[in-house]
Structure 1
């Protein structure tokens, strides 16, 4: 398995929202290339004063989830939504998201009618965008596999390894990381639970 950091714009420095760590994208996103595309969420402060979200009336500070939505909205002004739509439409591509990554796709109108999860603070926003929001650590909706908060990204990675390369490889990596996966991966199959009186 080979891994490559890409961006919608092509090779460039990509500054992390947390701590300013810079990573180097080595290529442009190729949505028709078979494989897996992983879309991260967002974090950190917004830089431009006009991007600062409204303040919480309770304590006068902006809510962290509003910073995230402002940062994600910036991505909607790039070629990224068009590239991700092409990836979602390609049967040889699996799109995975962690945390606010699914919110980005939902904000772009790419997940309407699909099942997905995100950080617990984004679940209502997913629903408002026409997504069937599922409260689970990992949700497998075929060519779209989403993970909840940032730590569930480990579970997503291990699940995708199992799905693509088999359980023995996934277990070996799980053992190497000393990380035990949590919860069941939600899939739309099997019997539905019945309501209790």
Structure 2
């Protein structure tokens, strides 16, 4: 199983590093059955995150034909909308506006990323996974119509508005689409990917290594609909 984790300008480092480390350890535990790399839509390059200028290097190009799983992180920056700047910062110029998460996510739409993700979503042999605001990248690109997905709790309304079926859960499995909620859900999503694709013994070994117990039930559209509680 080869996983490509996508970097884009303004990405959230924890959305990337948490699943990367889990999946990399899964490669060791599985004797090399799992491989993972950092990629970008533009190919190899230094990519600056939205957290203090921290940069990671994409070593390859995003290529749905080479990947079994493509993982899309969210962005790191100010929450809310650009028009919500405090009065004492309202005249700070375009740089302040650029710090907002919706702006950073929206800028991915001007790159080749949406087209590449669209190819991945159309390929039944490729699983697309997201952490936090990564699902909003797919939603804004029009790729989540009618699909069950989750995201950071502040973005659930945006998912609904984009035609997705938002679920308030830590991890949502919708077949070839697996989405994680808040930033730290990348750990849980990575472990779930290992369990689903490589088996529970591999996932448990990595879980023990990181001393992290997965949180919450993985939501799937199975079983009876629960009555109101």
Post-superposition CA distance 1:80-106 (Å, at most 9, x none):
000001001111111100000001100
Q: Name the residue aligned to 2:7.
A: none
**1:32 positional shift:** 2.1
2:88 and 2:177 map into 1 onto residues whose CA distance is: 38
Q: 2:117 aligns with which of 69, 72, 84?
A: 84
- Higher share of residues assigned helix: 2
Aligned to 1:162, what secondary structure does the other structure show?
A: helix
Moved over 4 A (4+): 59-62
Aligned to 2:178, what secondary structure does the other structure show?
A: strand
**1:19 positional shift:** 1.9
**1:61 positional shift:** 6.3
Q: How big is the alpha-carbon RMSD for the aligned residues of Structure 1 and Structure 2?
A: 2.0
Q: Name the residue aligned to 1:53.
A: 82
> With CA pairs under 8 Å and 6+ residues apart, which has the higher RCO, 1 or 2?
2
Q: Name the residue aligned to 2:198.
A: 165
**1:195 positional shift:** 2.9
Unaligned runs of 5+ in 1: 46-51
Query: Normalised by the size of structure 2, how large is the TM-score?
Result: 0.77
1:121 correspondence with 2:154: yes
Question: Number of paired residues?
Answer: 188
Unaligned runs of 5+ in 2: 1-33, 91-96
Q: 1:152 aligns with which of 185, 188, 198?
A: 185
Post-superposition CA distance 1:26-55 (Å, at most 9, x none):
11111122411110000126xxxxxx9112
